[in-house]
Amino acid sequence: AKDAGRNAIRFFSPEMQAAIDSRSEMETTMRNGLLHNEFQLFYQPQIDIDGEIIGAEALLRWFPRDQESVLPIQFIPVAEEVGLIIPLGLWVMETACAQLKAWENDPRTRHLKIAVNVSARQLRQLEFVKQVQDALEFSGANPSLLKLELTESVLLEDVDDIVERMQQIKLFGVTFSLDDFGTGFSSLSYLKRLPLDQVKIDQSFVRDIHTDPNDAAIVRAIIAMSHSLGLKVIAEGVETKSQLNFLKNYGCAHFQGYLFGKPMPIEEFEKLLKRI
């Protein structure tokens, strides 16, 4: 059995080995990047039914020195796998809270919320509640302006623990949104147990809302169900006026997408606020 185990190591194909090498290489460059301030938050506007900007989703960007920038879909999964998402996610939360605090003195910005993505791995840590509390206390940010976006992957294990952790965080005044809704495999009964404030309709349903009657039906059902559960609804990936009108007709009142603005550096986001 020992021999078999040793031989098994050689079963890695050159492609698999290359993938492993590039992953650990990315881990090292990411670790250094965190030390050298190579990460930035971009902000994408979130809009209400009157077209007003009510906040932004904070989206992580990585600009490695001497290298082309790397997309979140490339580095976030690696960060999750190797555990770097913990310090990285903490940095995101602290940076977002500092931004909320900085907006507090200006009447044009002090009502704005920031939505932060939280990976299941972060939420599964025992210390997560304390980390959120510390980020809020250290920055002095108003907790009710911080929104945490989760995905259905949090439901894969320990639902009771997750629910309890969420409830503790809600006591601070922080709210929760369920991201990518409709794409996961969770049952509605589980969903009902999560103390959510908002559901975010995944962009894949919004994209074909006009051309695919099934997507239109799903969007309608999500909105109706969420509202009857007392949840707010936001649609992501809104790119056209006609998608917006469709969503409005179905009763959706919050929107995010290229129609209103792409994720952008903070300076640009603040300029956008002044223009409106």
Closest separation in Å from C-beta 236 to ligand C2E = 6
Using CB under 6 A as the binding rule, whether residue 76 contacts ligand C2E is answered as yes
Using CB under 6 A as the binding rule, whether residue 117 contacts ligand C2E is answered as yes
Confirm if 35 and 67 have CB atoms less than 8 A apart: no
Confirm if 207 and 235 have CB atoms less than 8 A apart: no
Question: Which residue among 59, 86, 123, 194 contacts ligand C2E (CB under 6 A)?
Answer: 59
Closest CA to 220 of 238, 198, 254, 246: 246
Question: In the complex, which residues of this chain contact Ca ion (CB under 5 A)?
Answer: 117, 149, 179-180
Q: Which stretch binds ligand C2E (CB under 6 A): 21-29, 67-75, 103-111, 155-163?
A: 67-75
Closest separation in Å from C-beta 3 to Ca ion = 44
**Distance of alpha carbon 216 from alpha carbon 11, whole angstroms:** 47
Using CB under 6 A as the binding rule, whether residue 55 contacts ligand C2E is answered as no
Using CB under 6 A as the binding rule, whether residue 237 contacts ligand C2E is answered as yes
Alpha helix positions (H), the chain:
2-9, 14-35, 72-82, 85-103, 120-124, 128-139, 159-172, 188-193, 203-207, 213-228, 241-249, 266-275
Using CB under 6 A as the binding rule, whether residue 112 contacts ligand C2E is answered as no
Using CB under 6 A as the binding rule, whether residue 46 contacts ligand C2E is answered as no
**Of the two residues 29 and 117, which places its CB atom closer to ligand C2E in the complex?**
117
Using CB under 6 A as the binding rule, whether residue 263 contacts ligand C2E is answered as yes
| Amino acid identity at 100 | L
User: For the chain, give me the number of helices (H) and strands (E)?
Assistant: 12, 8
Using CB under 6 A as the binding rule, whether residue 38 contacts ligand C2E is answered as no
Mask 162-181, x = binds ligand C2E (CB under 6 A)?
-----------------xx-
Confirm if 39 and 33 have CB atoms less than 8 A apart: yes
Closest separation in Å from C-beta 236 to Ca ion = 5
Q: What six digits make up the tokens of 33?
A: 């990047």
